[in-house]
Structure formats: structure tokens, C-alpha cells
């Protein structure tokens, strides 16, 4: 008899908990859907960011304007100029008459590279087997300068091989390069995982913390605390809508990057979604922590931006390679969740690796989530002070 009573009691309690939970989650969704502006930002932010990074803020160099000073004006130089122009990296915009014009063109900022063919270019190439081409780049931006000269020299060496044909030179070492996983060296392969990490941590952590702090600000928290509602249910109800929205965001990011940026998903989509969910949970736990530490919505927002966005950008590994940082920063980067997620997404999405390759990183995220959730539940204030 006793047992059956208890059993009924437990069942009843579970049912009422469930009902409270559903009602609470519905209320949270109403808050989100009625705040049209914020909703629009949440939905559009990932798309805008992906497009921005994909087309505007890319570190690939496309369609660089170049100038040619052709002192040879022979078959070979013309062929080369045509080739440069035809490649997607360069556009020949100026034909310069004299050496002095090169400097002028650079100073006017209209070109990134100038190519100078010497007199009798083809003749020396054919008869002395040896000739020179001058590449002049604007090294005020060293990375761009290196990249464009590399592009140009690879076009030159391609041409050279064609001219040589089968009559191969003795003793040549020809490096054969293969760019694994990203043969076209697209920047998108690098930033899609990065943007995913940034968007998820921002939306989950910031929105969750703001949603909880708002209840405190408008004094509804006092009424909720003085009710049978369990703190665990309260926290879960706050987190669920943002977990859901973040999954939507992951999907849109993937959709945009596959269709618009042509970054394929090499690995398992299921695994990718799974680890994303794990990272979302880590971010929500961070949000809960922040809500415990802050008193107003503004404070929560500022804190989220400073404590999450900056470390994600600087130490997440997708803007600046962690390997080239000083050791202390490398150590600190380990506590940035985005770093681990970024690793996982690159491995799964770009390299097509399976779970066996990313279980360590996943375990780190699980550990972080458990730690943060533990602290948050322990510190959750069931009273006012």
C-alpha cells in the first residue's frame, strides 16, 4: 500500500513537472517570437556573417589588378600576359610604357603587382635557355605581396614546363604539391567552422544569460521563486529555446556554406550535428554562469561580449594560429571552448574524419559543460541574497 502511494505520488509529481516545463518553454518561445527585432538578428546574424566572411573579408586574393611593362613584345611575353589575365587571380589593367610608370602606378594604389619583361625575352629563353622576368609587388602588406608573387611565379613555371615539352632537362627536382582537404586553398574552409563557433557561443551564452537576468530585472523572479517551480526546471526551460534556435543556426550556416560557398561536408552530418549540440550545451552552461554573476541585462550582454566573443575571436584559432602564439597564450587558449569545437568541426566537416578522431576534444567539451553546469546549479540563488 505504502509503495503504491509513493509510486502514484512520484508519477503525479513527474506529470506536474512535465506540464510546468512545457508551459514554461512555451512562454519562453513567446518572449522570443514577440521580440521581432532580436529574433531577426538571431536568425540573420549567421547568414550575414558567413556571407561577409565569404565574400568581403576573405584573405584569398582574387582579381588583383596588375600592370605590365613589356619591353619584349614578342610571342612569349604576349602568351604569358594572356595567361596571367586569364587566371582568376589577376587582371591586367595597365600596360606601362616606361620603368618610371611602375612607381607611379603603385603610388596611385591601383595595382598590386607589376611584371617587367626584358627586351628579347623569347630569344634569350629559346637560345640561351635562360631569361628573367621581374615581379614587383607592393610589400606594405607583406602577406598579400607574398601571395601574389607566388601566384605569378606558379603561372610562369607552368608556362616554362610547356615550352620545355618532353625535352626534359637533366637533374631537375620538381616539387609536386597537393593541398589536402582544400585543394583550391579556399578561405571558407577555415572560417566556416570559426563562424559556427562564434555564432553558437554568442547566441547560446548571451541570450540564455540575458533571459534569466531579465526575470530578475522585472521582479518576476521573486514570484517564480516563491512558487513550487523547481530551479532545475526553470534553468532547463530557459535553455531549451536557445538550444533549438542554435540548431537552426547550425543548419543555416551549413546550408549557406554548402550551397553558396561550395564548402562540402566531408564527414558525417549526424556527427557534426551531434558535436554542435554538445558545444551548444557548453555555451548554455556558460550563459548560466554569466547569469549568476550579473544583475542587469546590460551587464550580462557586456560580460558575454567581453568574456566570450573576444577570446573566441583571438584564441579560438581561426583568426590567428594558436601554434604561433607565445606559450602562456597557448596554455590559456585551452580553456576557450570554441578552440576545441573549431578543431572538431574542421576535422569532421573538412577532413571527413570520424568520431575516433575527435573524441578527445569532445570529452573536453563534456568536461567543461559538466563543470560549468555543476557550478551554476550550486550557485543558483533560490533566495534574493
Q: Which residues contact 342 (CB under 8 A, 6 or more apart)?
A: 193, 194, 197, 316, 317, 318
Q: Which position among 45, 61, 145, 224 is part of the footprint of another protein (CB under 8 A)?
A: 224
Q: Of the candidates 41, 223, 248, 269, which one interacts with another protein according to CB under 8 A? A: 223
**Minimum CB distance to another protein, residue 312 (Å):** 30
Q: Using CB under 8 A, which of 97, 183, 228, 326 touches another protein?
A: 228
| CA 171 remoteness from chain centre | 44
Residue 26 exposed, middle or buried by CB count within 10 Å (0-12, 13-18, 19+): exposed
Region from 16-24, 69-77, 104-112, 329-337 binding another protein, contact rule CB under 8 A: 16-24
| 150 close to 157: Cβ distance less than 8 angstroms | no
Classify residue 206 as exposed, middle or buried by CB count within 10 Å of its CB (0-12, 13-18, 19+).
buried
Cα–Cα distance between 352 and 345 in angstroms, integer? 9
User: Do residues 65 and 91 touch, judged by C-beta distance below 8 A?
Assistant: yes
Which of 5, 169, 173, 385 is the binder for another protein (CB under 8 A)? 385
Grid cell listed for 179: 593541398
41: contact with another protein by CB under 8 A: no
CB of 23 to another protein, least distance (A): 4
CA distance 15 to 149: 69
Whether 175 and 289 have beta carbons less than 8 Å apart is answered as: no
Choosing from 18, 23, 302, 331, the residue that interacts with another protein (CB under 8 A) is 23
- The contact mask relative to another protein for 144-183 (x = CB under 8 A, - = no) is ----------------------------------------
Closest CB 244 distance from another protein, rounded Å: 19
Identity of the residue, 56 or 218, whose beta carbon is nearer to another protein in the bound complex? 218
Among 35, 85, 123, 262, binds another protein (CB under 8 A): 35
Among positions 225, 273, 307, 366, the unique one binding another protein when judged by CB under 8 A: 225
Among 19, 104, 127, 360, which residue sits at the site for another protein (rule: CB under 8 A)? 19
- Which residues 229-258 are close enough to bind another protein by CB under 8 A? 229
Strand, coil or helix: what is 70?
strand
Q: Minimum Å distance from CB 226 to another protein?
A: 4
Amino acid at each position: 500500500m505504502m509503495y503504491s502511494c509513493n509510486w502514484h505520488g512520484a508519477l503525479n509529481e513527474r506529470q506536474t513537472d512535465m506540464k510546468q516545463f512545457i508551459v514554461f518553454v512555451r512562454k519562453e518561445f513567446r518572449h522570443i517570437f514577440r521580440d521581432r527585432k532580436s529574433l531577426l538578428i538571431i536568425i540573420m546574424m549567421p547568414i550575414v556573417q558567413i556571407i561577409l566572411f565569404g565574400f568581403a573579408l576573405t584573405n584569398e586574393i582574387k582579381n588583383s589588378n596588375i600592370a605590365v611593362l613589356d619591353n619584349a613584345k614578342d610571342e612569349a611575353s604576349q602568351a604569358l600576359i594572356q595567361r596571367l589575365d586569364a587566371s582568376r587571380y589577376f587582371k591586367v589593367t595597365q600596360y606601362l610604357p616606361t620603368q618610371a610608370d611602375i612607381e607611379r602606378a603603385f603610388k596611385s594604389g591601383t595595382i598590386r603587382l607589376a611584371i617587367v619583361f626584358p627586351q628579347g625575352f623569347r630569344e634569350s629563353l629559346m637560345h640561351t635557355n635562360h631569361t628573367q622576368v621581374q615581379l614587383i609587388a607592393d610589400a606594405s602588406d607583406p602577406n598579400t605581396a607574398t601571395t601574389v608573387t607566388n601566384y605569378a611565379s606558379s603561372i610562369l613555371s607552368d608556362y616554362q614546363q610547356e615550352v620545355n615539352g618532353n625535352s626534359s632537362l637533366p637533374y631537375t627536382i620538381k616539387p609536386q604539391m597537393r593541398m589536402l582537404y582544400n585543394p583550391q586553398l579556399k578561405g571558407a574552409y577555415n572560417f566556416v567552422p570559426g563562424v559556427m563557433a562564434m555564432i553558437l557561443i554568442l547566441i547560446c551564452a548571451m541570450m540564455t544569460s540575458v533571459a534569466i537576468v531579465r526575470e530578475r530585472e522585472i521582479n518576476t523572479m521573486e514570484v517564480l521563486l516563491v512558487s513550487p517551480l523547481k530551479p532545475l526546471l526553470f534553468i532547463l526551460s530557459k535553455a531549451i529555446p536557445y538550444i533549438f534556435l542554435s540548431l537552426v543556426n547550425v543548419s543555416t550556416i551549413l546550408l549557406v556554406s554548402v550551397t553558396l560557398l561550395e564548402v562540402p561536408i566531408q564527414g558525417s552530418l549526424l556527427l557534426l550535428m551531434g558535436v554542435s549540440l554538445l558545444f551548444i550545451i557548453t555555451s548554455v552552461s556558460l550563459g548560466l554562469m554569466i547569469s549568476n554573476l550579473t544583475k542587469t541585462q546590460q551587464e550580462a550582454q557586456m560580460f558575454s561580449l567581453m568574456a566570450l566573443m573576444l577570446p573566441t575571436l583571438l584564441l579560438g584559432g581561426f583568426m590567428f594560429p594558436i601554434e604561433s602564439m607565445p606559450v602562456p597564450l597557448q596554455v590559456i587558449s585551452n580553456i576557450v571552448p570554441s578552440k576545441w569545437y573549431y578543431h572538431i568541426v574542421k576535422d569532421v566537416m573538412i577532413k571527413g574524419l570520424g568520431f575516433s578522431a575527435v573524441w578527445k576534444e569532445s570529452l573536453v567539451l563534456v568536461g567543461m559543460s559538466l563543470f560549468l553546469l555543476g557550478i551554476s546549479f550550486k550557485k543558483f540563488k533560490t533566495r534574493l541574497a
